[in-house]
Amino acid sequence: MSPDQTRSSSARAETPLTAAVMAGRWIRTAAVDDGRGRHWKANPDPRGRSALAAEPASLYAGAAGIVLFFLELAAATGHEAYLEDARAGARYLAATWRDQTDLSLYHGLTGTVFALAEAGWATGEEEFEEAARAAADRIVRGVRRLDDGLGWSRDPAQRGDGGIVLGLLHAAGILGVPAYEEVAVEAGRRIARLVVPGHRFGDCPGLPTDAVTPGFLSGTAGTAFLLARLYGVTGDGRFLEAARRGADFVRTVSVVTGGCAAVPHHVPQGRNLHYLGFCSGSAGVARMFCELHRVTGDRGDLDWAERLARGVMRSGIPRRRTDGYWNTVCQCCGTAGLVELFTGLWAVAGEERYLEFARTLAEDLIARATGHDDRGYRWYQAYRRLRPGEVTADTGYMVGAAGVGAALLHLDAAGLAGGPRRVVLLPDNPFPAIPVPAAALRRAAEGNG
């Protein structure tokens, strides 16, 4: 039976699963159906505001990310209506992907390919896989011969070519088209030839022009993650060498004290500003070290991921607010991204303290939800750290309720060793798709044998 039918809509949710269901309820109020399928308003509240400009299809804030959330909610609850939500959104993506000019993973066509491929896999509907292949073909046709190799732009970070390469690697496997991997690997070779892969100067609003960003979405750590992934795919040591150069830079600029580590938002000016979230902080940088550990088996890489995790745990959050952990709950820069880190790290390392901390973070998320009007849960936050008075709620994945709900569903799946469930992980996530330590799965299997 669905949790929708067992809990009063006005009651405070007590578990990650029921909170995710309540998030789905609010997102449903934002549905817009037309002849192309279904997309969702960024914020359906009366006079509701969004943190971003309209991105109706994107993985970051639009239909692609919300489709992924409903796929997971259907798997977690067995509720067919959620699968129909995902189908309707996938139909919209299949009908509109040609309108997208941005090719990137989080804000463009590569994210649409990912969502369509996952929807096709989950529903068995060939039209979604066909649309995903057609869109991926367009991305491949868009690759250019640059001075130093193939690429789509000159940005090697996850927000640029790095994210496209990761998306094509995923598409090659799930859609069965080896040519996507060939293009991705060739584009990756250009990135690997950079002296410090992902070493970016400040080309973001608010950053000095000579700033260097070691973080994940727009910096060194995310690009090193990509190169480690390419090494795992190809076995080509040049990718590993380049990933190590990036990781060495991140270690060099990090602050290490008492077995803990923190990464500056940017250097040299922002050495004392340590984000904790995914985009530019510990939750994202730890993914890079986990990916290196996954493809090499080097315990030192996992040790660095755990140093970053200990730094987060000893920071005093979630009760304490810091300059790098402000009034934000989303996947990109807030609490949900940290839930992903600690749930995934538990599945990798098997340390119970990580799962307990993920639960502590989830309890804070649930407590901060707004649901007074019987329309489900949403989360109001100051998405931009430098604009603390600009408080909004959003439906999307990286910036809103869909991503918060997905993180809670991943935590819910972490407690299911006896009946494991696959979760949907984005292409830049190194953690197990069944978020349970291998030893716990073996014990469960032996107990059922």
7 pLDDT above the threshold of 70: no
C-alpha to C-alpha distances, 366 to 31, 68, 157, 394, 416, nearest whole angstrom? 23, 21, 33, 16, 20
User: pLDDT tens, 224-274?
Assistant: 999 999 999 999 999 999 999 999 999 999 999 999 999 999 888 888 999
pLDDT (mean) for 378-391: 86
pLDDT at position 133 is 98
DSSP 89-130: HHHHHHHHGGG-----TTTSHHHHHHHHHHHHHHH--HHHHH
CA–CA distance, 65 with 363 (Å, rounded to integer): 23
Residues of the chain with pLDDT > 70: what percent?
95
- pLDDT classification of 197: cutoffs 50, 70, 90: low
Least confident of 86-95, 177-186, 203-212, 379-388: 203-212
CA–CA distance, 247 with 197 (Å, rounded to integer): 9
- Comparing 427 with 6, the larger pLDDT belongs to 427
CA–CA distance, 403 with 397 (Å, rounded to integer): 4
Residues of the chain with pLDDT > 90: what percent?
80
Average pLDDT value for the chain: 92
- pLDDT classification of 8: cutoffs 50, 70, 90: very low
pLDDT at position 390 is 83
CA–CA distance, 336 with 370 (Å, rounded to integer): 16
Q: Cα torsion at 387, 393, 394, 398 (round to 10°)?
A: 60
Map residue 255 onto helix, strand or coil. Answer: strand
pLDDT (mean) for 34-63: 91
| Tokens linked to 62 | 């639009």
pLDDT at position 3 is 39
C-alpha to C-alpha distances, 320 to 165, 314, 334, 435, nearest whole angstrom? 37, 10, 13, 28
- pLDDT classification of 281: cutoffs 50, 70, 90: very high
The most confident of 10-24, 236-250, 378-392, by mean pLDDT: 236-250
Contact 94, 20 (CB under 8 A): no
- Per the listing, tokens 């909170």 go with 19
pLDDT at position 201 is 55
pLDDT at position 167 is 98
Global pTM value? 0.94
The H helix count followed by the E strand count for the chain is 15, 8
User: pLDDT tens, 310-342?
Assistant: 999 999 999 999 999 999 999 999 999 999 999
User: pLDDT tens, 76-92?
Assistant: 999 999 999 999 999 99
- Comparing 444 with 323, the larger pLDDT belongs to 323
pLDDT at position 12 is 56
pLDDT (mean) for 87-105: 97
pLDDT at position 9 is 40
- pLDDT classification of 439: cutoffs 50, 70, 90: confident
CA–CA distance, 75 with 69 (Å, rounded to integer): 10
- Per the listing, tokens 């070691």 go with 214
User: pLDDT tens, 121-143?
Assistant: 999 999 999 999 999 999 999 99
198 pLDDT above the threshold of 70: no
User: pLDDT tens, 199-226?
Assistant: 665 566 677 878 889 999 989 999 999 9
